[in-house]
Structure 1
Amino acid sequence: MDTTTADPLVGRLLDGRYRVESRIARGGMATVYLALDVRLDRTVALKVMHRSLAEDPAFVRRFIGEAKSVASLSHPNVVHVFDQGTDNDVVYLSMEYVPGRTLRDILRERGRLAAREALEIMIPVLAALGAAHQAGMVHRDVKPENVLLTDDGRVKVVDFGLARAIEATNQTRTGMMIGTIGYMSPEQVTTGGADVRSDVYSAGIMLFELITGRQPYEGQTPMAVAYKHVHETVPPAASLAPDTPQLIDMLIAQATAHEPERRYQDASAMLVAAVDAHRLLPRHGGSGAHQVTASPMPAPPVTGVHAMPSAPQAAPSHTLIQPRAEVRAERRGFRPNWFLIGLAIMMAAAIGLTAYFVAQPTYVQIPDLVGQNVTTAKQAAASKGFKVTVVDGQYDDKVAKGRVLSTDPPAGTSVEEASAFSIVPSLGPKLVTVPGLRDLTEEQARTQLADAGLKAKVVKMENLEVERGKVLESRPAAGEQVKAGTTVEVRISNGMLMPDMAGLPRQEAEAHLQGLGLGVQVQEVDDDAEPCTVIAQVPKAKSPVTKGQQTQLTVVNCGFSLPDWWMRGNDGEARDDSGFSTVPSVVGKNLKDAQQELQQLGFKVKVKRLLGTGVVRFQRPGPPLAEVPPGSTVTLWH
């Protein structure tokens, strides 16, 4: 069955940008697809995480962070990460598409490699790892599957940071070890910890495999292999591949030392040793191992490999070691000559090796164009040899319309000369129209605003004209253009509550209630309170009322007489006007200003609510009886 056509992702447009063309490979943690970036019109490789990982929030958070770190890593031997994203249940990386094969494919096809050829693969791998180590990153999963050989002979390392993201998941330790246990350092097995020296160990195991065609340890279960990593020593490669130069065995031995402090302290240090070994190996006639490296003593037993089948070309080790010893005896007297010859050709070899590494593509950085005029920015980038595409714009509150909002890849990303990148222009702030909300319920108003991309702030106000619970108006008003996300004040009718009329003069109380659309009946009674003022009301203060409802006021008989405090002094004697204070009129003033003014004059202030406008409508006492004893209480209605 064609598994590619059955794959549900094939043919899908991810994130509105990546059209999945076909499936390339499937691994333990992800599946790799060939895809077209429709925005930049370029082919990319999409690494899509398996669903079990994508459903783990801890993995997704760590995955995003690691992807950002790797995207900043610029090196010709590292597969570049362009983008990272999610599309519903799909978590993916967009990466440089590298036509070619993995190092695992090469090993399956050819078996073991000659020492010189193995080093020529390991040197760029170590250069990539060294750049990562200098940037503070650890690969954690160095193995042939993560090394790509391009059709034009370049070497690329992939999957930086993915193993670290996996550590954030709920996967078990055994589950994490199954795919990579053959290359895992002792400290990763025992503690789960890894640093740059763990990558060095894995690189040493990989070099062993390139030279011998197999890993140093095999077992019936992953834990059996893990046990050997911790308790056994990697055997000399020469025990399986007798023509292995001693320089290679020394390189592998130091890289795979059990104690991290005895290894090369990072990949750059191992790179230096690998370059030296490459320089000293003969250029012709195979690996040259038998001329310079064979030991006169029988090779030690192959620790940890006894359960492995014999290599296809390998004869028993004791029959192959003896000829090496004989050749060494014949050549022993010439060793100083080899040393002198090595010194003599060192400069020429160094120059040749430098040329090997320099023959890589020239990389430049994407310029920082954010904030510039789009047309000007495009022309400036084109003048530097870039191929620039202006894609659909995006709304942004900070960058003005017609300016560069971002570039893809972002500024500072290292790319090959004359590469293509896109400019995303800003459309400025996104404006939306405030919808009409009058007479809607609170829930309906909130829904309308949310659909328009606006937020709601509800304020309830007394009103007799609009039914309780319905919208009176909005601020900003309906029809106005505002930024998306703006908070709109929704004013909702809370109906009307009966105001507190006690203490108001009859005439003012009647006029106020009639102004609210309420009917008024007045009943006069004899009372010791101030004549012609309200002393009771129906409905009670703060009771709900409706337009046209009948109300009743009980008012003290209006026969005029001065109040007791007007006739007597504070001591009950006849009044002495010389000690009285004049109450100023504060009607029409702001309530807080009125309160402050009266209090500064020594009066106490009592506030009653009529409409809640914050402006004084009535006051008692006030003119004409504005002479009161010091410290008297003045009541204000607003």
Structure 2
Amino acid sequence: MDTTLTDPLVGQLLDGRYRVESRIARGGMASVYLALDVRLDRTVALKVMHRSLAEDPQFVKRFIGEAKSVASLSHPNVVQVFDQGTDGSTVYLSMEYVPGKTLRDVLRSRGPLPAREALELMIPVLAALGAAHQAGLVHRDVKPENVLLADDGRVKVVDFGLARAVEASNQTKTGMMIGTIGYMSPEQVTSGVADARSDVYAAGVMLFELITGRQPYEGETPMSIAYRHVHDSVPAPSSIVSSVPPQIDALVAAATDRDPARRPADATAMLVAAVEAHRTLPRGHTGQHSTPLGAGSGTAGTSSTPGISSTPGTAYATGAHTSDVAGHTMIQPKPELTTVPPARSTSRRWRPNWFIVGLAVVMVAGIAFTGWWFSQARYTQVPDLLGQNITAARQQAENAGFKVKIGEPRFDEEVQKDRVLEISPAPGAEVEKGAELTLVASAGPETVPVPNVEKLSAGDAKVKIAEAGLEVGRVSKVPSDTIARDLVVRTNPSVGERVRKGATINLVVSAGLLMPDVSQMMKDQAVQFLQEKGFTVQVDETGDSTPPGTVIAQDPAAGAEVTAGAPVRLTVSKGPDTGWHWPWETDDSLATPDFVNVPDVRLKAVQEAKRELEAAGFKVKTRKLMGGQRVVGENPLGQQPMGSTITIWY
């Protein structure tokens, strides 16, 4: 169905800034729209709260607070929040638009994923959650629907803080459970309490689902699923897919422990465990292998404890006994001492050369030591950690036995912020075990703040912008009643906003104060508008064929350059000298139309006012005064014939 025809927001300009182009999705708490930020000329995603939430002042207050917290969270795997606002009854978030699909879409199209691939999707999710936990934020609704896979391969987590805002609203007083039941931790079900370990639990359930293609618990009702979260332990993924390696089973078991105290403390701790599990999987391992016959049967020479194994053929010696691989005990008899009488020699006794003997011993010992030294595998290769998160890369290097030094971050146009940009020694180099590696993280593209050039001349502004390493783009003019002619009113992007070095900055320059056109407005509306702009207004009345009270002339003329506080003379109609009449009152051939009340749409948004007047049966003509988005004047008012034209000024 075409949302343009069915959704009243499509085509509207929210808050004078966001032009809504289409609806992308609709959920239980909000709808998401594709929109254009006309101020910054960029595409954004607008999350608009459903009216039931937007009408709750407690929700709106908490929602604004949570939006500010999330906006301060800068991480490459978190969908960035640009802005938050309200327009009438519409409460919205402006967010980074990520073209792609959700992790739920991937599961639907592909089914269960191989172990290595599942971990490679979970690691950036855990990195995002870990950054949030370090900043004191808890997601509360971790699930595949809230993980976005961009078309360029990036993984992004969305909807931080929304569940908390709803939790604080009046919506929860009806017994509504906040979150998604399939991923809820036991403590969320029983007490409604959620912290970083609750997100860890949900991440563990999500990893289970990625590996097995299903959630751990299924039931006919949400409450039956909630009951199992509280009373059952999440099964091992290998109980569903036999080829799942034990590292994955251990990671899921730790993350989904029913006791929060036994889970990883936060997502960063789980991230470290996930990176280690990924490292221990054989390269190229997909997790799609069959279960060996006899595994877990207690066969001699194997260990039933994951991560502990005995090698066939190894013997364990204790005292005078030695155990073989079959578990049998071999008793070794103590060797008896025998005395061998020295042989009698009839020849001359041979005497050893002790110098030669000593030299031989030293040579043999040297050869043995050299063989031992080189048999110890003292050298290893530097791992390739380029492009990984700096924290995870450091942990992986330390786990491999290296000492790690973090170098000064460097700007880079291609490598994302907090990703490993350089390793010294280089990846693949042969170094001694325990050597020191220097990891240098990317600081992202070099950015500079847009300098403050407001109220400078265009020439001076260009010099200051160039000194900051930026370039000047378009220069446009707008009327201004506060900034003198030819001085900078504002920049785009705004002053103080950080942009890439070499970026283009557009200037908006004052065209001076231009006299607004208030002709055809009602006298009271025109006088109020001009006085609010600082003009001194004088009114003259004269007979005219236009309806009484209509402005028919002004001095200075519309569009003339004026100074703030200048005097303005308005000429207002007092109607014809013989009295004003409707045309059908003097012409019997004209039918008397139906009169209806004209809705008073002053102070409403232009598009909303236009829709309301057209719905009442009138034609609408719009006229711009100062470029705002609210109606400041309307003529005529009262009762008017249906189908007549109503003029609104904004």
Normalised TM-score (structure 2)? 0.55
1:74 Cα offset (Å): 1.0
Q: Closer, same or farther in 2 for the Cα pair 1:15/1:352, shift >3 Å?
A: closer
Contact 1:409 1:422 in 2 (8 A): no
Q: Closer, same or farther in 2 for the Cα pair 1:19/1:105, shift >3 Å?
A: same
Contact 1:40 1:422 in 2 (8 A): no
Unmatched segments (≥5 aa) in structure 1: 299-323, 434-443, 456-479, 484-638
Matched, 1:204 2:201: no
How big is each residue's C-alpha offset from its partner over 1:224-279, in whole Å with a ceiling of 9 and x where there is no partner? 22121111111111111111111111111111122222111111111111111111
Match of 2:350 in 1: none
How big is each residue's C-alpha offset from its partner over 1:539-596, in whole Å with a ceiling of 9 and x where there is no partner? xxxxxxxxxxxxxxxxxxxxxxxxxxxxxxxxxxxxxxxxxxxxxxxxxxxxxxxxxx
SS, match of residue 125 in structure 2: helix
How big is each residue's C-alpha offset from its partner over 1:123-161, in whole Å with a ceiling of 9 and x where there is no partner? 111111111112111111111111110111111111111
Contact 1:40 1:420 in 2 (8 A): no
Match of 1:369 in 2: 451
Q: Closer, same or farther in 2 for the Cα pair 1:115/1:334, shift >3 Å?
A: farther
Match of 1:535 in 2: none
1:54 Cα offset (Å): 0.9
Match among 288, 302, 311 for residue 333 of structure 1: 311
Match of 1:171 in 2: 171
Supply the RMSD in Å over aligned alpha carbons.
4.7
SS, match of residue 68 in structure 1: helix
Unmatched segments (≥5 aa) in structure 2: 315-374, 394-413, 418-443, 517-522, 535-562, 567-650
Whole-angstrom CA distance in 1 between matches of 2:381 and 2:185: 34
Match of 1:193 in 2: 193
Matched, 1:49 2:23: no
Match of 2:154 in 1: 154
User: What pairs with 1:443-522 in structure 2 (closer than 5 Å)?
Assistant: 452-453=531-532
How big is each residue's C-alpha offset from its partner over 1:189-242, in whole Å with a ceiling of 9 and x where there is no partner? 222222111111111111111111111112222222212111111111111111
User: What pairs with 1:557-636 in structure 2 (closer than 5 Å)?
Assistant: none
Q: Closer, same or farther in 2 for the Cα pair 1:346/1:377, shift >3 Å?
A: farther
Q: Closer, same or farther in 2 for the Cα pair 1:385/1:131, shift >3 Å?
A: farther
Match of 1:35 in 2: 35
Contact 2:46 2:93 in 1 (8 A): yes
Larger radius of gyration: 1
Match of 1:223 in 2: 223
SS, match of residue 348 in structure 1: coil
How big is each residue's C-alpha offset from its partner over 1:29-69, in whole Å with a ceiling of 9 and x where there is no partner? 11111111122221111111111111111111111111111
Q: Closer, same or farther in 2 for the Cα pair 1:16/1:203, shift >3 Å?
A: same
Match of 1:96 in 2: 96
Matched, 1:69 2:69: yes
Match of 1:360 in 2: 416
Whole-angstrom CA distance in 2 between matches of 1:275 and 1:397: 58
SS, match of residue 91 in structure 1: strand
Whole-angstrom CA distance in 1 between matches of 2:239 and 2:484: 66
Whole-angstrom CA distance in 2 between matches of 1:365 and 1:335: 63
SS, match of residue 311 in structure 2: helix
Letter of the 2:253 partner, please give it. A
Whole-angstrom CA distance in 1 between matches of 2:202 and 2:448: 34
Letter of the 2:85 partner, please give it. G
Contact 2:40 2:492 in 1 (8 A): no
How big is each residue's C-alpha offset from its partner over 1:102-142, in whole Å with a ceiling of 9 and x where there is no partner? 11100110011111111111111111111111211111111
Task: Point out the structure with the larger helix share.
Answer: 1
Contact 2:303 2:310 in 1 (8 A): no
Whole-angstrom CA distance in 2 between matches of 1:31 and 1:275: 35
SS, match of residue 241 in structure 1: coil
Letter of the 1:238 partner, please give it. S
1:334 Cα offset (Å): 8.3
Q: Closer, same or farther in 2 for the Cα pair 1:217/1:13, shift >3 Å?
A: same
Whole-angstrom CA distance in 2 between matches of 1:386 and 1:256: 53
Whole-angstrom CA distance in 1 between matches of 2:188 and 2:49: 23
Match of 1:83 in 2: 83
Match of 2:383 in 1: 348
Contact 1:386 1:418 in 2 (8 A): yes
Match of 1:303 in 2: none
Normalised TM-score (structure 1)? 0.56
Whole-angstrom CA distance in 2 between matches of 1:451 and 1:25: 45
Match of 1:5 in 2: 5
Matched, 1:261 2:261: yes
